[in-house]
Chain A
């Protein structure tokens, strides 16, 4: 009988590069920047790492295929290294690999590292995806903002909301994240932006304006995980444990069956439910101290509030406008600035979210520090609303 991952594995150390338009560095330097911080934090020599996972998505413009770029950059001495790719949820996938390796007893110390060098394309925005031979023959001509913008029209239609009210809530979401990101020296965008500025920004994909979209950045993040016992033996006192790790992948229902109305993430709903069960969380609205969600676009964050079962269906607009998810609200969301301010170096994002929860739980978040957090949740979406991969983790104090 499976017992879940709760408290079986702890985070020994983490690192995160500065995110941004890192014109001066490539993927190797980004990986090293995150790794140096991580290995120093973990307090073990690199040779202790027995297995590693690399997350990267766009190999055409990035580190290239296979796990070799990580193994060679860090000179990981012939240990098993695996590259994982699961769209924008790749980082969560790498973390899961490392955590499961430790939980299985196969190794004592495992590394998960996500990295993406996006700013080598010559243009702004995410590069277009060339996916296999069949999609170019029939897929709609989607960009990421256009695909996620679909949520807005379907959400407005489903709940009979006014498009203006939803647009304003979306702007409020971005404004809140900018306020938070302004306090984060590692964020790409560190300037507050007003709701009025956001509403007036040029249209990218209706109804998403420029400030409804996350930045496009270079970055890397990594984690070393081990068992609680080993962490203790290394002198760690406050242990940050993995409470739940869930991944839900679309099975094609949303894309092709009329039971999906286009206004929500079916995968997030399921993965969240499973994660709460795994973590022993009964009432997420009451129990979660903070959340880091996949705010690739403001509308994504809005519907995700409901898909995580925190805001009741149709009530996210009200919660957002009431400041429920603000840094001083009951469940602060994107306390680090989120994808909105960090940008979204695809392979890195999932681990970057966990990094913030980790800092907060250890009281290391500086001016962003929340009082006495217990549980944090990350939600990492890859793909499009109509077919996606959702990774959810719950991270908390060991034994809590």
Chain B
């Protein structure tokens, strides 16, 4: 039996109130008020497709043996690098073995379902034992366009393998049609989109239903057996229309999360599937369909293990972990949609020494420190001489993974002087349970809430961007845990 071994998701903590978007822009386009319901997931300034994919993968891999991951696929239409494998960054941040295959998938909103089929087929063929598929998108939109309110930022991940799976893969079907509902040219920041009614009727309405019907036929599943039908579409009622044409019961149609999260691009079908898995009971049929220049339809059956493979947070947990943002200017700023005065301090921009980045990749991507072979003191960075003043043993230290260790704030400050996209910059000494400490940037904090002793979780984030040379630099930051529980 092959299928989904585990699943996870990630939604950024910030949720931009859509009313804030509409109110700021209604003077020029009153039609936007019609979209002003609910909120959209909004990436923090230091998040992108890579960092969100890492978090979704961590959610998915909780309790799993990372050593078993034989391949990592990353699906995104907004990868930070056009030529530097983005999946490789994610693999590094997850401390996966370097003896694995990694692959970037993109260029279509169905990239995740195409990757899912390819991964499952690879497992089926015995070419690889387990594949980690992560999908993430943070699509930029022009200010005051409908997509600004329809889209959201987010990620999901699935671990695919054989044996004890949470959902068995029954089969699927793909069609490829160059139906261009929208496109984003090479080096272009924004989508160019055709008329909604045409996309709905000629695209979703005619391309997806036959693909669903064919997939169900191939797997021997009757349409009325489908309990969860996940088809992302920003237009209301489209998924229900497709379901109707395919004979799927209306109550099986999954909510597209438009009001609580927005459509997370290529990741969204997996976000919806991950949410369905969190609610599925054994025996239920789940159908996931991805649309984009054709369609992929995949059919799964929840097994008895579905209740035992619940991720730490999943879509449900991340939807609950939210902080409302009503400052639309902040969204514009984070997405570089306004030309702002940053001050002279922002001009500092050292190049990234790629040879250093490579030499220290374990430390920088994976937050790998050292453990003294003599006194067992964990330390970051890993050193040739033990940091413990009572020890100072020489010799190679063992790798010590800090990323998932519980930690606390030992000291902090909120700094208005140093340049950051979202001042005041918070940082401080982070002390790990079990030993080790270092001065780290904080993220996802609430101004006025940080205090000594506060528990934090380390997260992989953008440390800074070298816009002149097109480099995004990543490192780990401390995110207060108490803040997660608010709202």
Contact = CB atoms under 8 A, between A and B. Distances in A.
Interface string A57-79: 00000000000000000000000
B210 interface: no
Contact of B427 (A130, A134, A141): A141
A153 B453 contact: no
B389 A142 contact: no
B25 interface: no
A205 interface: yes
Interface residues of B, number: 51
Given A123-B344, A256-B379, A141 B437 contact: no
A137 B365 CA distance: 10
Contacts of A207: 413
B424 interface: yes
Interface in B400-446: 410-420, 424-425, 427-429, 431, 435-441
B475 A137 contact: yes
B417 A146 contact: yes
Given A134-B356, A257-B389, A143 B383 contact: no
A307 to B, nearest CB: 16
A154 B437 contact: no
Contact of B475 (A130, A138, A154): A138
B473 interface: yes
A142 B427 contact: yes
Contacts of B348: 128, 130
Nearest to A266: B389
B357 A137 contact: yes
Nearest to B452: A157
A261 B410 CA distance: 7
Given A143-B418, A203-B416, A205-B414, A137 B440 contact: no
B429 A262 contact: yes
Given A123-B343, A128-B348, A145 B389 contact: no
B439 A133 contact: no
Nearest to A136: B350
A386 B439 contact: yes
A137 B463 CA distance: 8
Contacts of B424: 203, 205-206
Given A130-B348, A137-B352, A138-B364, A150 B436 contact: no
B439 A145 contact: no
Contacts of A136: 350, 352, 464, 473
B352 A150 contact: no
Contact of A204 (B357, B416, B419): B416
B445 to A, nearest CB: 12
Interface string A139-171: 111110111011111101100000000000000
Given A125-B417, A257-B387, A154 B345 contact: no
A258 B356 contact: no
A260 B364 CA distance: 24
A252 interface: yes
B257 to A, nearest CB: 34
Contact of A150 (B357, B428, B453, B464): B428
Contacts of A133: 350, 353, 356
Given A122-B344, A138-B364, A253-B387, A262 B436 contact: no
Contacts of B413: 145-147, 149-150, 152-153, 205-208
A136, A147, A149, A152 — most chain B CB neighbours (10 Å):
A136
B465 interface: no
Contacts of A252: 383, 387
A208 B411 CA distance: 14
Contacts of B427: 140-142, 146
A197 interface: no
Contact of A205 (B360, B380, B417, B440): B417
Contacts of B453: 157
A126 to B, nearest CB: 9
A119 to B, nearest CB: 13
B193 interface: no
A121 interface: yes
B350 A262 contact: no
B475 to A, nearest CB: 5
Contacts of A256: 379-381, 383, 387, 436-438
Interface in B121-151: none
A255 B429 CA distance: 8
Nearest to A260: B437
B267 interface: no
B435 A258 contact: yes
Contacts of A140: 427-428, 439-441
Given A134-B356, A141-B420, A258 B343 contact: no
A154 B353 contact: no
Nearest to B344: A123
Nearest to B363: A138
Contacts of A261: 410
Contacts of A260: 437
Contacts of A121: 344
A122 B417 CA distance: 15
A205 B410 contact: no
Contacts of B380: 256
B400 to A, nearest CB: 12
A388 to B, nearest CB: 12
A3 interface: no
A259 interface: yes
B358 to A, nearest CB: 11
A138, A154, A386 — most chain B CB neighbours (10 Å):
A138
Given A136-B350, A257-B437, A154 B411 contact: yes
B85 interface: no
A130 B379 contact: no
B352, B356, B412, B417 — most chain A CB neighbours (10 Å):
B417
Given A138-B463, A386-B439, A143 B415 contact: yes
A173 B377 CA distance: 39
Contact of B412 (A139, A153, A251): A153
A141 B418 contact: yes
B423 to A, nearest CB: 10
A130, A146, A252, A262 — most chain B CB neighbours (10 Å):
A146
A75 B360 CA distance: 46
A147 B440 CA distance: 11
B463 A253 contact: no
Given A153-B452, A258-B435, A145 B440 contact: no
Given A128-B345, A253-B389, A137 B473 contact: yes
Given A128-B418, A153-B428, A262-B429, A257 B388 contact: yes
Nearest to A202: B416
A134 B424 CA distance: 24
Contacts of B412: 150, 153
B436 A142 contact: no
B429 A123 contact: no
A219 B344 CA distance: 23
A142 B439 contact: yes
Contacts of B420: 141
B365 to A, nearest CB: 10
Interface string B379-397: 1110100011100000000
Given A136-B464, A206-B414, A257-B387, 10 more contacts: A121-B344, A123-B344, A134-B353, A137-B364, A145-B415, A146-B415, A154-B410, A206-B413, A253-B387, A384-B439
20 contacts: A122-B344, A123-B343, A128-B345, A133-B350, A136-B350, A137-B357, A138-B363, A141-B418, A141-B425, A141-B464, A146-B415, A146-B427, A149-B415, A150-B411, A150-B412, A203-B416, A204-B416, A251-B389, A256-B438, A262-B411
Interface of B: 343-345, 348, 350, 352-353, 356-357, 360, 363-364, 377, 379-381, 383, 387-389, 410-420, 424-425, 427-429, 431, 435-441, 451-453, 463-464, 473, 475
Going nearest first, the 9 A-B pairs with the smallest beta carbon separation are: A146-B415, A149-B413, A133-B353, A150-B411, A143-B418, A154-B411, A140-B427, A262-B411, A157-B452
